[in-house]
Amino acid sequence: MDGNPPPPPPVKKVRAYERLPDLTIPTLESIRAKGTSSASNSPIAPSPSSASTQISLRAPKRTCWEKMDQVLTTYGFDSLGEFLSVLFHPRKRGEKDLRTRSHKHTVAAFLKGRSKITMADIIPLIFNHPRSRPKKRDADQHSASFSPSKPLSEIRYARPCLSAWATRLVGDRIYYQVGKLARKSRTDTRNRRHLRATTNKRTNSKDVIEWEDVAFSVEELAALYRQEDEFLWYLTECFAASRKGGKVIVKKIRPHPIIQVGAISSFITSRNRYASGDLGLPLGLWLFACQAHVDVKRVLCRFGYSVSESTARNALNSLTGADLSALQEQVRDATARGEVDFGKISDNVQRYERVFEHGLGKENVLKHGTACTAFGLDDCKPGAFHAADHIARVINQERQSMTVETIYSSIDWEHMDNITDLHFVRVIANFSPHLNPLSSQVSTRFRTTLAKHRLEPRKTRLQPLGTNAEQQMENKGYQAGFRDFDKQMGIEPQKSDNLLSWNRGDGGTHGTLTRLKHI
């Protein structure tokens, strides 16, 4: 064994590590600022290609004008008109719908007003756009505004084309609405607008005029027209009404609602000559009552404001004929019960007829006659008009007990004083604005506390009778006129022997009647 020491054991090699630089993650702002990688020694630094990809995803927000420019350059249509015609294409029934779902939903949302911008915003933009107006030197296009006849295809500019289209749309609507008002409603059993002056067995119309139909007011008719067709009322208001500060004003002289009523009524009569019950028929009766000249009636009839004179006469004949039949029936029923339900009041009438066209043998004439009106009697005791009882009292001279003193003592003077005082209080209450609230209390006191025999609210029953040519101031003329009026009322002499007749009149009538009693 040598004396040398043994060799040392082999040393195990250790892996050497290199210290890498600190990891840094670049921000998007630094990438945009440098345009390339922020650190070449970063192991995860994005490459230039990846940085450019991220920049394109976060592009800056475009304005509405940039979007519009992109749409107009990429929409692929030859013109904006072609694009709009395809956009708003209405699918016809039975036609295959080639539109996509987004196309249909987008257009439907806009047309139904569900989008933020609606048609109310688009129409003024098109109509008021300066490029939509034709120049004055282009007379053909400039005169096409609101044109009812020029074809729309020949109107190039948007503003006159829109106005011409709206004019025809409004015209068609007016034509439809006036025709609707002129037609007879099948649901309305009695339509005042289609009243008839006469009827016959063939037609048997139930809409024959009655006296209640004559009592009309222009205010009620104006409210009816406004309620039935607000569109037509608005248009006629634009024609007739004046404005101040953009608001409609009603004038004291010739207020526009009356003008509108006359215009709408004439429109309806022009479309249907049988629809004259609103204004034409009542106005025709009024002209007849005023004894207007026949030429005035003809002119107003030609304008559509009134019915013809023959129609007015036929209406009056129908009114008097129907009411006379009802009056005669009531008189017969009362006579059968032994009662009197109607009285008569008569007076002499005159009319001076002037000659309009003078000629041989023509002269002014004073026509005279007798007019009479039958009136209904209310709250009469049974047997009050029995002739036998009256004659028996006259024979027994019971009237001798009725003197001035007995009449004076029968009056309740305390009640008369209270009534007189209350009448005076009502005058003061109606005159003074501060006492007006007390008027209702005064009326209530009249109807309750001081009312001895108050009749129920009712309408006075009146029926004009036919005028005759008898002279009432003469004995024979009064008798002949008296018999004629009894015949019109349906009074039968043989069935009315035990009934008294209630006849009233003025002083001359009373004097003639007193003379006849002594004959």
pLDDT of residue 9: 65
Return the ∠ at Cα 497 (arms to 379 and 369), rounded to 5°: 80
Question: How many domains does the chain contain in total?
Answer: 2
Q: Which residue has the higher pLDDT, 59 or 65?
A: 65
Three-class DSSP category at 161: helix
More confident residue, 97 or 330: 330
Is 415 within a domain? Answer: no
Say if residue 252 is in the same domain as residue 299.
yes
Percent of all residues in the chain with a pLDDT value above 70, rounded to a whole number: 86
Residue at 323 is within a domain:
no
Q: Is residue 223 part of a domain?
A: yes
**What is the longest distance spanned by two Cα atoms in the chain?**
203
Q: Report yes or no: 209 and 307 within 8 Å, Cβ to Cβ.
A: no
169-195: average pLDDT: 81
pLDDT at 342 over 90: yes
Specify if 100 maps to a domain: no
Residue-number span of the structural domain to which 355 is assigned: 342-410+455-518
Pick left, alpha or beta for residue 76 (phi over 0 → left; psi -120 to 50 → alpha; otherwise beta). Answer: left
Same domain, 267 and 405: no
pLDDT of 190 > 70? The answer is no
501 compared with 60, residue with greater pLDDT: 501
Residue 3: predicted pLDDT = 57
| DSSP assignment letter at 452 | S
The reported pLDDT for the residue numbered 23 is 62
Task: Note the pLDDT of residue 37.
Answer: 46
Average pLDDT along the chain: 84
Q: Residues 212, 217, 223, 227: what is their CA dihedral angle, to the nearest 10 degrees?
A: 30
- Judgement on whether residues 195 and 252 belong to the same structural domain of the protein: yes
Are residues 294 and 390 located together in one domain of the fold?
Answer: no
Mean pLDDT of 15-43: 59
Task: Give buried/exposed letters for 379-414 (b at 16+ CB in 10 A, else e).
Answer: eeeeeebbeeeeeeeeeeeeeeeeeeeeeeeeeeee
Same domain, 378 and 484: yes
CA angle 458, 461, 463 (to 5 degrees): 165
Q: Domain check: are 259 and 397 in the same one?
A: no
Cα–Cα distance measured from residue 371 to residue 505, given in angstroms and rounded to the nearest whole number? 11
Find all residues with CB under 8 Å of 308, minimum gap 6, and list them.
284, 297, 298, 301
pLDDT > 90 in the chain, percent: 22
> Per-residue pLDDT averaged across 53-69, rounded?
71
CB burial readout 438-462, b (16+ within 10 A) else e: eeeebeeeeeeeeeeeeeeeeeeee
Inside any domain, residue 105: no
pLDDT beyond 60 at 20? yes
Which residues fall within 8 angstroms of residue 61, CB to CB, at 6 or more apart? none
Using pLDDT thresholds of 50, 70 and 90, give the confidence band for residue 201.
low
Indicate whether 44 pLDDT > 60: no
pLDDT tens, residue by residue, 277-327: 888 888 998 999 888 988 999 999 999 999 999 888 988 888 888 888 889
Closest Cα to residue 508, out of 367, 366, 372, 348? 348
Higher pLDDT: 52 or 174? It is: 174
Q: Is residue 482 part of a domain?
A: yes
Helix (H, G, I), strand (E, B) or coil at 487: helix
Which of 6-20, 221-235, 440-454, 478-492 comes out lowest in average pLDDT? 6-20
Which region among 104-108, 407-411, 452-456, 476-480 has the lowest average model confidence (pLDDT)?
452-456
Instruction: Of 43-52, 160-169, 284-293, give the lowest mean pLDDT range.
Output: 43-52
Report the 10 Å Cβ neighbour count for 188. 11
Mean pLDDT of 224-236: 91
- How far, in Å, CA of 32 to CA of 58, rounded? 12
The pLDDT-based confidence of 187 (bands split at 50, 70, 90) is low
User: In this structure, is residue 176 part of a structural domain?
Assistant: no
Instruction: Tell me: do 226 and 267 sit in the same domain.
Output: yes
| Statement to judge: residues 365 and 476 lie in one domain | yes
| Whether 285 and 346 share a structural domain | no
On whether residue 93 sits in a domain, the answer given is no
Whole-angstrom distance, CA of residue 211 vs CA of residue 390: 37
Reduce the DSSP state of residue 107 to 3 states and report it. Answer: helix
Q: Strands 503-504 and 342-353, how do they pair?
A: parallel
d(CA 316, CA 152): 53
Average pLDDT of the segment spanning 162-186? 89
What is the 8-class DSSP label of residue 433?
G
Q: Which of 317, 350, 365 is the last residue of a domain?
A: 317
In this structure, the answer to whether residues 349 and 400 fall within a common structural domain is yes
370 pLDDT above the threshold of 50: yes
Q: Which amino acid is at 26?
A: P
pLDDT at 48: 53
Q: Is 339 exposed, middle or buried (0-12, 13-18, 19+ CB in 10 A)?
A: middle
Same domain, 358 and 399: yes
- Better pLDDT: 60 or 172: 172
pLDDT at residue 17 is higher than 80? no
Asked if residue 355 and residue 274 are part of one domain, the reply reads no
- Dump pLDDT digits (tens) for 444-472: 888 888 888 887 788 888 888 988 999 88
